[in-house]
């Protein structure tokens, strides 16, 4: 018998933006490798050896059951050549007949940086449209727009180590305990070690995260701008803002303070429906804290005023000089493993690669020359919701969806289904053989998944880590970048898409970040240019911005520690913001506010985490959480069923088992996002949401639908 030997490989967990390092012990017998055990990487700076329940059970979800293993056309197995020839023909025909803007890519924060780079290069440089958007639009595009408005560049100015060094941690719109568990554990440990550290949780729901809170502000959903404007006004009235000092590094403070003028304590308490003394306590703590960090995620971003909310937070950090120092900063925590990498390569319809701008002619010329691109896009493309709307109207004729399940995750499911039905050619690349979106695919392409593919991911604190291919591609599966390069070659772009290893793609991207970049943009990976394949394979986690020490070693620099920002005059911008009501407002017919979010043990639409019974144990199915008083008034009992309808769900209501909880505000409801009919849910949550979006970021309002509620 052949001897089995053990081998240790390192990679990164694919489930969230914390970006935990994982050690995988493998059994190698002859040429065959199998994954045996997974533990957290002790030396990885994101997790120091810790994993949450999803990471711990990662190998349980990694089998080949349910995998898509062969390309198919109209459900029939075909050769790769047939599939990619057909895709290239369809793209060419669509461009010839309807123009480049009739082609669209809808991609994913699950893609690795190299995949994302190739998708963006093919669409924006060679197909000639910016119609490439991503499920990250649903996740953090409001945070991106707010950083860009305030700092001139999409730069997250914080590190995870700020958790251990801050005096005040504010978590707003973030159930960190469930959505980013390893970070939550880190906060809990920091608080244990430093009992003077305070934690404030701002959330309409009393979530698990509140277990470590010194103060919980259960504000009315959507009222965040009033709260942070109130904080600005409070500090200004109490002469706690040194305007002259702030003016040396930020502009617009006077206008922001003027916009905040109506928001005194009682106005804030009334508008946000909070206890006035709790509001005063928060304002006092923030304005007196030697250092403060504000974590924010979907509760802020997934809103029709998401960008303003994030800017209201950033305004306070600029005004209180809580930025650029250890233990300070406005910290957007991303949901997906590589949403940040997607941002870096410009994987959103309104961005160009390497933090350059589509609207900037010099940037376009630079990218066009660098790529030797025949037809670089000249204007922004369609953001996710607009993209599917354009499809429904027959303006987009070809769509290629990669690594995401928009039929379940996008708002207004019926509209998304209608769009896919209307579209002439729907191509879906995925690792699974069936899901709600694949049901609409004309062409289905088997992609490699975690543990099979090599590439880079960037976590919430700008730290790049490697995901590593350990197992061979199953069946006929190919890497996403390879599939796209095959199609690009058949479109005639042979020279620009001839890579043999993802390290070559990363090197090209790194060179582009450094191209004519005399540090106008902080995303400058010049020190990583020219890595050999071995160096790329052995890459250790690194945070940008990078600096080379005298001894040649690379280390990270804190963004904005010099208080110089990547704007034309070097100053950050405070933005005058005014609270606005959510778009999907309650009314007599739909009097309840539907909030949605993650459960601790599931991931996205459960195509991976749904495979293991262990992860179903804590929450076996989707429930609707209702305040006991609301339930009583409607005759709804614990563990019975309730039905929800909205203006867009048509006649078919959504039905969920009931969970009563005093931790939810009266008038609010909560349903986790993950379950669909595939996983035994009676309902499709996305049916209830209208496609309301933030006017700047295009991010859908997924925290605030107006619905009716009744017993089933």
Closest separation between CB of residue 363 and ligand SF4, Å? 33
If you write DSSP's letter for every residue of 474-501 in order, what string do you get? PTT-B-HHHHHHHHHHHTT-TGGG--SS
Residue 21 or 330 having the CB closest to ligand SF4: 21
Residue 15 or 117 having the CB closest to ligand SF4: 15
Closest separation between CB of residue 110 and ligand SF4, Å? 13
Residue 180 or 413 having the CB closest to ligand SF4: 180
Closest separation between CB of residue 52 and ligand SF4, Å? 3
**Hey, which residues does 6 pair with through a beta bridge?**
27
Residue 450 or 493 having the CB closest to ligand SF4: 450
* Euclidean distance between CA atoms 199 and 381, whole angstroms: 40
Closest separation between CB of residue 557 and ligand SF4, Å? 25
Residue 48 or 280 having the CB closest to ligand SF4: 48
Residue 51 or 485 having the CB closest to ligand SF4: 51
Among all chains, which residue has been given the structure tokens 């979106």?
437
Closest separation between CB of residue 60 and ligand SF4, Å? 13
Closest separation between CB of residue 47 and ligand SF4, Å? 6
Residue 203 has phi, psi (to 5 degrees) of -165, 135
Cβ neighbourhood burial of 74 (10 Å; 0-12, 13-18, 19+): exposed
Closest separation between CB of residue 50 and ligand SF4, Å? 8
Q: Which two tokens stand for residue 649?
A: 């769900």
Closest separation between CB of residue 383 and ligand SF4, Å? 26
Collapse the DSSP code of 287 into the 3-class scheme (helix H, G, I; strand E, B; otherwise coil) and give the result. Answer: helix
Residues that bind ligand SF4 (CB under 6 A): 13, 15-16, 18-20, 47, 51-52, 54-55, 180-182
* Euclidean distance between CA atoms 438 and 404, whole angstroms: 10
Residue 334 or 643 having the CB closest to ligand SF4: 334
Closest separation between CB of residue 203 and ligand SF4, Å? 19
Closest separation between CB of residue 14 and ligand SF4, Å? 7
Residue 182 or 438 having the CB closest to ligand SF4: 182
In 252-297, which residue ranges form alpha helices assigned H by DSSP?
253-260, 265-272, 276-288
What residue number has its CB nearest to ligand SF4? 55
Closest separation between CB of residue 16 and ligand SF4, Å? 3
Residue 184 or 679 having the CB closest to ligand SF4: 184
Beta carbons within 8 Å of 149's beta carbon, 6+ residues apart: 307, 311, 573, 575, 696
Query: What's the number of CA atoms in the CB half-sphere (13 Å) around residue 654?
Result: 29
Closest separation between CB of residue 169 and ligand SF4, Å? 17
Closest separation between CB of residue 11 and ligand SF4, Å? 11
E strand or H helix that includes residue 236 = helix 224-237
Closest separation between CB of residue 705 and ligand SF4, Å? 27
Pairing of strands 572-573, 250-251: parallel
Beta carbons within 8 Å of 695's beta carbon, 6+ residues apart: 304
Residue 11 or 645 having the CB closest to ligand SF4: 11
Cis peptide before 545 (omega within 30 of 0): yes
Q: How far is CA 33 from CA 14, 36, 61, 432, 477, in A?
A: 20, 9, 17, 22, 17
Cβ of 393: how many Cβ atoms within 10 Å?
Answer: 11
* Euclidean distance between CA atoms 172 and 48, whole angstroms: 25
Contact 86, 443 (CB under 8 A): yes
If you write DSSP's letter for every residue of 102-117 in order, what string do you get? GEEEEE-TTS-HHHHH
Residue 51 or 307 having the CB closest to ligand SF4: 51
Residue 15 or 283 having the CB closest to ligand SF4: 15
Residue 18 or 642 having the CB closest to ligand SF4: 18
Closest to 173 measured CA to CA, from 231, 217, 233, 115: 217
* Euclidean distance between CA atoms 163 and 384, whole angstroms: 33
* Euclidean distance between CA atoms 201 and 215, whole angstroms: 6
Beta carbons within 8 Å of 499's beta carbon, 6+ residues apart: 481, 485, 505
How far does CA 501 lie from the centroid of its chain?
27
* Euclidean distance between CA atoms 1 and 158, whole angstroms: 53
* Euclidean distance between CA atoms 136 and 33, whole angstroms: 33
Closest to 511 measured CA to CA, from 529, 536, 532, 534: 529
Closest to 295 measured CA to CA, from 189, 185, 159, 204: 159
* Euclidean distance between CA atoms 47 and 189, whole angstroms: 13
Residue 28 or 53 having the CB closest to ligand SF4: 53
Closest separation between CB of residue 507 and ligand SF4, Å? 26
Residue 61 or 596 having the CB closest to ligand SF4: 61
């Amino acid at each position: 018998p052949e001897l089995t030997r053990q081998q240790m490989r390192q990679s990164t967990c694919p489930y969230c933006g914390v970006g935990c390092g994982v050690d995988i012990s493998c059994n190698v017998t002859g040429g065959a490798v199998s994954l045996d055990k997974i533990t957290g990487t002790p030396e990885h700076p994101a997790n120091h050896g810790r994993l949450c329940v999803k990471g711990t059970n990662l190998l349980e979800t990694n089998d080949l059951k349910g995998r898509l293993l062969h390309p198919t056309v109209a459900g029939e197995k075909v050769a790769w050549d047939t599939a990619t020839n057909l895709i290239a023909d369809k793209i060419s025909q669509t461009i010839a007949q309807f123009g480049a803007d009739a082609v669209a890519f809808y991609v994913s924060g699950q893609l690795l940086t190299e995949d994302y780079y190739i998708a963006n290069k093919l669409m924006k440089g060679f197909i000639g449209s910016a119609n490439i958007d991503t499920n990250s639009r649903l996740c953090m595009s409001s945070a991106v727009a707010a950083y860009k408005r305030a700092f001139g560049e999409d730069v997250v100015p914080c590190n995870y180590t700020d958790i251990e060094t801050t005096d005040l941690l504010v978590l707003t719109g973030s159930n960190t305990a469930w959505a980013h568990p390893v970070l939550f554990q880190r906060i809990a440990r920091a608080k244990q070690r430093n009992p003077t550290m305070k934690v404030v949780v701002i959330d309409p729901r009393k979530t698990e995260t509140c277990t470590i809170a010194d103060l919980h502000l259960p504000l009315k959903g959507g009222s965040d701008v009033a709260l942070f404007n109130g904080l600005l006004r409070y500090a200004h009235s109490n002469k706690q803002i040194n305007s002259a000092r702030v003016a040396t590094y930020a502009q617009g403070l006077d206008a922001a303070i003027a916009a905040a003028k109506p928001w005194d304590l009682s106005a804030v308490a009334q508008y946000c429906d909070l206890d006035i003394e709790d509001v005063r306590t928060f304002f006092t703590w923030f304005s007196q804290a030697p250092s403060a960090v504000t974590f924010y995620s979907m509760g802020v971003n997934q809103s029709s005023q998401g960008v303003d909310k994030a800017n209201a937070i950033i305004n306070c950090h600029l005004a209180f000089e809580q930025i650029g120092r250890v233990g300070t900063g406005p910290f957007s925590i991303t949901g997906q493993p590589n949403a940040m990498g997607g941002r870096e390569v410009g994987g959103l319809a309104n961005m160009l690669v390497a933090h350059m701008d589509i609207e900037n002619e010099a940037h376009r010329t630079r990218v066009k020359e660098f790529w030797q691109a025949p037809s670089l896009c000249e204007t922004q493309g369609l953001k996710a919701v607009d993209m599917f709307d354009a499809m429904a109207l027959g303006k987009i004729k070809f769509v290629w969806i990669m690594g995401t399940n928009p039929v379940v995750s996008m708002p207004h499911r019926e509209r998304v289904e209608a769009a896919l039905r209307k579209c002439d050619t729907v191509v879906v690349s995925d690792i699974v053989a069936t899901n709600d979106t694949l049901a609409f695919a004309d062409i289905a392409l088997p992609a490699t998944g975690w543990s099979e593919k090599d590439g880079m991911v960037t976590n919430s604190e700008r730290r790049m880590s490697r995901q590593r291919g350990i197992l061979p591609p199953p069946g006929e599966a190919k890497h996403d970048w390879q599939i796209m390069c095959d199609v690009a070659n058949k479109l005639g772009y042979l020279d620009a898409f001839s890579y043999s290893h993802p390290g070559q793609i990363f090197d090209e991207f790194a060179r582009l970040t450094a191209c004519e970049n005399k540090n106008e943009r902080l995303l400058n990976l010049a020190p990583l240019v020219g890595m050999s394949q071995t160096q790329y394979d052995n890459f250790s986690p690194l945070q940008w911005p990078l600096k080379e020490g005298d001894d040649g070693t690379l280390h990270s620099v804190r963004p904005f520690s010099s208080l110089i920002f990547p704007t034309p005059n070097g100053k950050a911008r405070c933005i005058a913001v005014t609270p606005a009501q959510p778009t999907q407002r309650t009314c007599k017919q739909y009097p309840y506010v539907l909030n949605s979010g993650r459960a601790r043990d599931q991931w996205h639409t459960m195509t991976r985490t749904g495979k293991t019974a262990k992860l179903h144990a804590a929450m076996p199915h989707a429930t609707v959480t209702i305040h006991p008083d609301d339930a009583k008034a409607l005759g709804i009992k614990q563990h019975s069923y309730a039905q929800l309808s909205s203006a867009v769900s048509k006649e078919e209501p959504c039905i969920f088992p009931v969970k009563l909880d005093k931790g939810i505000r009266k008038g609010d409801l909560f349903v986790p996002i993950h379950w669909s009919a595939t996983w035994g849910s009676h309902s499709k949550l996305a049916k209830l949401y209208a496609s309301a979006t933030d006017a700047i970021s295009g991010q859908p309002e997924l925290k605030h639908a107006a619905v009716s509620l009744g017993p089933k």
